[in-house]
Amino acid sequence: MTPSAFNHSSLINGGRLIVFLAAGLLLLGMILSLHKSEKSLVQTAGGLDEAALATIEIDGAKPQPEHNGKLVYITGRLETSEPIRDETFALEVDAVRLERHVEMFQWREYERRRDSLSTNDRSIGRRKKVYRYEKIWSKQLIDSSAFRHSGYDNPTAMPFPSDSVQADKVQLGGFRLSDSLIDQIPPSDPLNFRLSDLSASIARDSFIHHDAPNQAPRLYWSAGRGRTRRDAQIGDARVYFTTRPSGTVSVMSQQNGDSFVPYRTATGAQIDLLSMGVVKPDVMVHHARHTAIRSAWAGRLIATVVMMVALYLLMRIGSRVINPFAYLTRITELQRWRIAAAVAVTLACFCVCSAWSLHHPWYAVSVLAIAVPIIPVSVRGIRPRSMPLRSDASVSDAEHRKNRKRKRRRRLAKRRRKKGGVG
């Protein structure tokens, strides 16, 4: 073996070992992450069960000192002391929060690779980078100083930043609503407004087009270009507004004087819930549990897919790195994926089972009953390609070895003939 061939082989083996170790660490990380998320779900479920029993329904007209530190339920209409105002646009609304969404027209650089078409022998087979530039609306400021080509310059600052204005005091009866509860108020549809509602300095260089979400008005602004509709230029801005409206809400949280703080349960979960309208405490708990479970299922699916990919890499690379895995070189790609999927689902089920075993034993037992037969059922019928099938039982192993050697000699002879023809 020549030194160059030896170095090349060493690099390949080193790369395979790195991929093998990275896949193993990824698998371990996903197992620990899934177990941690299931533990968090168990805490949340236990906390919601505790909250359903510990909630006290109170009258929100006036805070009572004896309810301090307890989990309370209150319903009523939100009230603000005065309208809120966006000073830049001089826009006033009666709402809990006014949010401004701004985008600017900018250049963006795209990079792609393509095969070199040069006739130079040194460039044949190489791929070179090609850059193209497009104008887009972006919420983020794009730094054009790092672009590979000049002539595509973006402004260094947004003309109007995205921002939000919140009412100084949001009252629910005799209570002041906390910021964590205000954040749970869903935003309404984009705000309807006219140019006459805005400041004169903004309105004279703007026009309105109804292309915001739900066909709401969106303001198009361009410095010094007047109100006429025109094609956008670099540095132009477009803006629309949304509000978090006042209305009837239901709150489940811990009373803290004349306000609220998250209630911490014995399991470590935090209860700080707000729903629009009049919603009973048991319904709020049910909705919170459903949201947590739906989020957990998304995490379980992602973790299982990542574990499946990591297991496939371990089998694919491990069969070339570690000798005991050599058996796996004699199965097909589809069979490897079947084994990886079965083991990944089984590991995910064991993570769920271990987390729920103390809180809900029967649920853990049912998951375990599903996990146990997955691998035997999934790998049934998987055989190495060198092993004879039942229909081939009459053919001996020695005959199979002879056939393989014969085919290998034919391939080598064919390669020699091609090489001789080229010479």
Q: Among 94-108, 229-243, 306-320, name the one with the lowest average pLDDT.
A: 306-320
Same structural domain, 382 and 297: yes
Same structural domain, 90 and 235: yes
Indicate whether 115 belongs to any domain: no
Q: Is the pLDDT of residue 208 over 50?
A: yes
CB burial of 96-128 (b: ≥16 within 10 Å; e: otherwise) equals: bbbbbbbbbbbbeeeeeeeeeeeeeeeeeeeee
Percent of the chain clearing pLDDT 70 (strictly above): 83
Residue-wise DSSP of 148-181 = SSSS----SS-SS--EEEE-S-EEETTEEPPHHH
Domain that residue 335 falls in: 9-52+286-392
Indicate whether 108 belongs to any domain: no
Kindly report the average pLDDT of the chain as a whole number.
82
Mean pLDDT of 347-371: 81
- The size of the chain, in residues, is 423
Give 111's Cβ-side CA count (13 Å radius).
Answer: 7
- Report how far apart, in Å, the C-alpha atoms of 383 and of each of 204, 328, 332 are: 77, 10, 9
Indicate whether 270 belongs to any domain: yes
- Whether the model pTM is above 0.75: no
Mean pLDDT of 89-107: 92
- 3-class SS of residue 190: strand
Query: Which residue has better confidence, 289 or 224?
Result: 289
Q: Among 226-235, 381-390, 394-403, name the one with the lowest average pLDDT.
A: 381-390
The model's pLDDT over 367-385, given as tens digits with 9 standing for 90+, comes to 778 777 776 766 665 655 5
Indicate whether 130 belongs to any domain: no
Q: Is the pLDDT of residue 395 over 50?
A: no
Question: What is the β-pairing status of strands 248-256 and 71-80?
Answer: antiparallel
Task: Retrieve residue 15's tokens.
Answer: 């790369």
The per-type count for the chain, helices as H runs and strands as E runs, is 8, 17
Same structural domain, 353 and 219: no
- Report how far apart, in Å, the C-alpha atoms of 54 and of each of 231, 260, 269 are: 60, 16, 14
The model's pLDDT over 25-78, given as tens digits with 9 standing for 90+, comes to 999 999 999 999 988 888 888 888 888 888 999 888 888 888 899 999 999 998
Same structural domain, 61 and 169: yes
Same structural domain, 80 and 192: yes
CB burial of 133-167 (b: ≥16 within 10 Å; e: otherwise) equals: eeeeeeeeebebeebeeeebebbeebebeeeebbb
Overall number of domains in the chain: 2
Same structural domain, 259 and 300: no
Q: Is the pLDDT of residue 180 over 80?
A: yes
253 neighbors 72 (Cβ within 8 angstroms): yes
Helix boundaries (H) for 135-280: 179-182, 200-203
How much is the pLDDT for 11? 57
185 neighbors 96 (Cβ within 8 angstroms): yes
Indicate whether 350 belongs to any domain: yes
Indicate whether 385 belongs to any domain: yes
Same structural domain, 290 and 271: no
Same structural domain, 244 and 333: no
Last residue of a domain, one of 279, 303, 331: 279
Question: What is the β-pairing status of strands 71-80 and 56-57?
Answer: parallel
Last residue of a domain, one of 226, 245, 279: 279
CA angle 323, 378, 352 (to 5 degrees): 95
The most confident of the ranges 120-134, 255-269, 385-399 is 255-269
How much is the pLDDT for 74? 93
Same structural domain, 310 and 264: no
Query: Which residue has better confidence, 127 or 107?
Result: 107
Indicate whether 128 belongs to any domain: no
Last residue of a domain, one of 232, 251, 279: 279
| CA dihedral for 25, 28, 32, 34, sign (positive or negative) | positive
Percent of the chain clearing pLDDT 90 (strictly above): 24
377 neighbors 345 (Cβ within 8 angstroms): no
Q: Is the pLDDT of residue 115 over 90?
A: no
Strands (E), 94-169: 97-115, 127-138, 163-166
Same structural domain, 266 and 346: no
How much is the pLDDT for 418? 75
Indicate whether 177 belongs to any domain: yes
Same structural domain, 340 and 360: yes
Same structural domain, 243 and 178: yes
Helix boundaries (H) for 55-107: none
The residue type of 273 is: L
* pLDDT category of residue 5 using cuts at 50, 70 and 90: very low
The most confident of the ranges 187-191, 240-244, 357-361, 392-396 is 240-244
Mean pLDDT of 297-310: 92
How much is the pLDDT for 388? 46
Residue 40 to residue 33: CA distance in whole angstroms: 11
109 neighbors 152 (Cβ within 8 angstroms): yes
56 neighbors 70 (Cβ within 8 angstroms): yes
